[in-house]
Amino acid sequence: MSAKTKPYLPPVGWEDNLMVELDIASREEFIFIGRGLTKLWERLSQEKIQEETEEIREVVQDSVEEEVVPNNSSDEVVSTRPKTSMINYDLNKTPEENERF
């Protein structure tokens, strides 16, 4: 080594630059993680909404498919009231008043 050659010294502020780069990289990583979590949350929310919609459809479909008349009842409906013709039926009167005709 000559007297003119100095030992290697890192540039002034080199360590600070490394810290700045690490800080920037970590912030970018947090942004990517945040975006990923947002997408995941949106997808899970959509799946939940879709599942709830399917459950509602199933309930409505089951309600439509249910029989109004029980299986053990007669297929014919038998009225115990006297038959009143529609000509004599007055909508302004109660059913009992209409039966008097």
The reply to whether 59 falls in a domain is yes
In this prediction, residue 98 carries a pLDDT of: 72
Q: For 11-20, 30-39, 50-59, 78-87, which range has the lowest pLDDT when averaged over its residues?
A: 78-87
Q: What is the pLDDT of residue 32?
A: 94
| Among 60, 63, 42, residue whose Cα is nearest residue 52 | 60
Residue 101 in any domain: the answer is: no
Report residue 4 as tokens.
């003119």
The answer as to whether 44 is a domain residue is yes
Closest Cα to residue 86, out of 75, 101, 71? 101
- Residue 69: pLDDT band with limits 50, 70, 90: low
User: Is 73 a member of any domain?
Assistant: no
> What is the model's pTM?
0.37
Q: What is the pLDDT of residue 61?
A: 66
Q: Name the more confident of 84 and 48.
A: 48
> Does the residue 84 lie in any domain?
no
- Asked whether residue 18 is assigned to any structural domain, the reply reads yes
Structurally, the chain folds into a number of domains equal to: 1
Residue 35 has pLDDT above 60, yes or no: yes
Tokens of 66: 């249910």
Give me the domain span that covers residue 44. Answer: 13-67
